[in-house]
Amino acid sequence: MVDSQRANAGIKGQPQERARLQDVAALAGVSIKTTSRILNGEKASAGATSKVLDAAKLLRYRPNGIARELRSGAISNGVGMIVSDLSNPFYSKMAYAAEEILAKEGFDLFIASTDEDPQREEGLVKRMLERRTRALLLVPSSPDHSYLKFEMALGSNIIFLDRPPVNLLADSFVSNDRQAAREIVAELKKSHRRVAVIGDEQIAWTAKERLAGAVEELGADSPLIQIGAHRPEKAEEIAIELLGRAEPPTALLGLNNLITLGILQALKKCGRSCSVVGFDDSDVLQMFEVTALNVDPERIGELAAQRALKRISNPDLAPINQLLEMRKIHRTPLDRPIIFPERK
């Protein structure tokens, strides 16, 4: 039998004794073999599946390869965070803010990066949850999150940051990327005849939304829209090609801060001048006085961490989806170029 103290565990700051497979089976009233099959994703009767999932959720049971070797069986006060690119200062600021909130409540934050690889995301999610993290903050790379339905049915607390879930009902904190891109391109067109846009590989939701907003203003067949710049080096290569055309752009829009860094490197290498606007503010953009469109990553991290704490205390909360407004940080006016000295 499973005692009431274990069944009702999950209160912040009170680690529970680890539930075993046989505990889940006993609470569900089915065999250990059937319980194991269901928890491994194999088909069983609807009634048995429902009972096992309900029992597993109540006991916060998860198969845990690492914890099998631990004798204490205690749940850690760990919260996982998976981002798309740890080298991007946008996500490091987000993680720092989340960690500050969680640490005050006695939780540790464990961070990993997918490098925009959906398969790596799924593997990291599985390993994070196997460690029985109390919540998972996820900047997703996968185009479909239905694979998380089973995890959430087991009671996993998953909060999406920067990008919304697809085919999954879950908490999310995202920004209005498409609208921001459309509006800044429209503003640039008022003072420039040739506005070029350099975007990332079209994997992440933010990359797609920002490109879609630019396309709404420039047209899908515009030769001044270039994508595939996942790293600054590739953005630099694309920008050099654009600047070398017979009719080069007079304004360049980078759809994230690493792309904008590559644009600045291209201008410096070519000794050219051009108006530049970027997404996701950074120290580099500040240094070169680049006007930026930005949603505060620290605010996203704080909101997600606060939501995680609420979910840990009350897992049955209805999901919320919060849209955060991007703001324009005015630096160099849009009709003025960023000037680098001409190379001799």
The model's pLDDT over 252-271, given as tens digits with 9 standing for 90+, comes to 999 999 999 999 999 999 98
Domain spanning 4-69: which superfamily?
lambda repressor-like DNA-binding domains (1.10.260.40)
**C-alpha distances in angstroms, 288 versus 131, 269, 275, 332, 338?**
43, 15, 12, 9, 8
Task: Look at residues 267, 203, 206, 202 and name the one whose alpha carbon lies nearest to residue 232.
Answer: 267
Confirm if 296 and 173 have CB atoms less than 8 A apart.
Answer: no
Cite the beta strand spans of the chain per DSSP E. Answer: 78-83, 108-113, 135-138, 158-162, 171-175, 195-198, 225-226, 251-254, 273-279, 291-294, 321-324, 327-329, 338-339
d(CA 96, CA 111): 10
Residue environment code for 122-148, b if the CB has 16+ CB neighbours within 10 A, otherwise e: bebbeebbebbbbbbbbbbbbeebeeb
d(CA 253, CA 187): 12
CATH number of 177-295+329-339: 3.40.50.2300
Sign of CA dihedral 69, 74, 78, 79: positive
DSSP 168-204: S--EEEEE-HHHHHHHHHHHHHTT-S-EEEE---TTS
d(CA 117, CA 62): 25
Angle at 153 between CA 36 and CA 129, to 5 degrees: 75
Query: What is this structure's pTM?
Result: 0.75
d(CA 337, CA 344): 20
Task: Fill in the amino acid letter for 274.
Answer: C
* 19's tokens: 């539930």
The pLDDT tens digits of the residues spanning 78-118 come to 999 999 988 888 999 999 999 999 999 999 999 999 998 99
Instruction: List every span in the chain annotated with CATH 1.10.260.40.
Output: 4-69
DSSP 74-87: BPP-EEEEEES-TT
Q: How many other C-beta atoms are found inside a 10 Å radius of the C-beta of residue 161? A: 27
Mind listing the pLDDT tens digit of every residue in the chain (344 residues)?
Answer: 334 344 444 433 344 456 788 888 899 998 988 888 888 777 888 888 888 888 888 887 866 544 443 444 445 689 999 999 888 889 999 999 999 999 999 999 999 999 989 999 999 999 998 887 999 999 999 999 999 998 888 889 999 999 999 999 999 999 999 999 999 999 999 999 999 999 998 888 999 999 999 999 999 999 999 999 989 999 999 999 999 999 999 999 999 999 999 999 999 999 899 999 999 999 999 999 999 999 999 999 999 999 999 999 998 899 999 999 999 999 999 999 998 766 55
Instruction: List every span in the chain annotated with CATH 3.40.50.2300.
Output: 78-175+296-326, 177-295+329-339
| Topology of domain 78-175+296-326, CATH | Rossmann fold (3.40.50)
d(CA 41, CA 39): 5
Task: Fill in the amino acid letter for 283.
Answer: D
Q: How many other C-beta atoms are found inside a 10 Å radius of the C-beta of residue 335? A: 13
